[in-house]
Amino acid sequence: MKDQIRRAACSMSDNIAECFEYNNNPDFIRYLAYAKGSSGEFRNKLVILNKAGKLDDQIYQELYAKSIEFSSKTKSLIDYLKKFEHDKKINN
């Protein structure tokens, strides 16, 4: 489980770093969605560990809240980029 939670956490930032290098908004949006999905996987692992009594409640709550914040900000960026791409098509 420790390795799985590490992989999920690393995948969040790895996807953002990788997609940023493509310098292409449609790909960026796709990889941001992958990063957001990894955040959901990370939260799921937190829940499992907490329910199993392997993760302190305070740490669980802090990490869970940070993961929700990450997902929310990532979704906002996805929405912004989608609108930008939409507006770009309309104005061209």
Query: Residue 5 in contact with residue 43, Cβ under 8 Å?
Result: no
Q: Which domain holds residue 84?
A: 2-91
Query: Residue 45 in contact with residue 1, Cβ under 8 Å?
Result: yes
pLDDT, one tens digit per residue, over 24-63 is 999 999 999 999 999 999 999 999 999 999 999 999 999 9
Query: Is the per-residue pLDDT at 23 higher than 90?
Result: no
CATH number at residue 32: 1.20.1440.60
User: Model-level pTM?
Assistant: 0.89
- Which sign, positive or negative, has the C-alpha torsion 84, 12, 42, 66? negative
**Can you give the length of the chain in residues?**
92
Say how many domains are in the chain.
Answer: 1
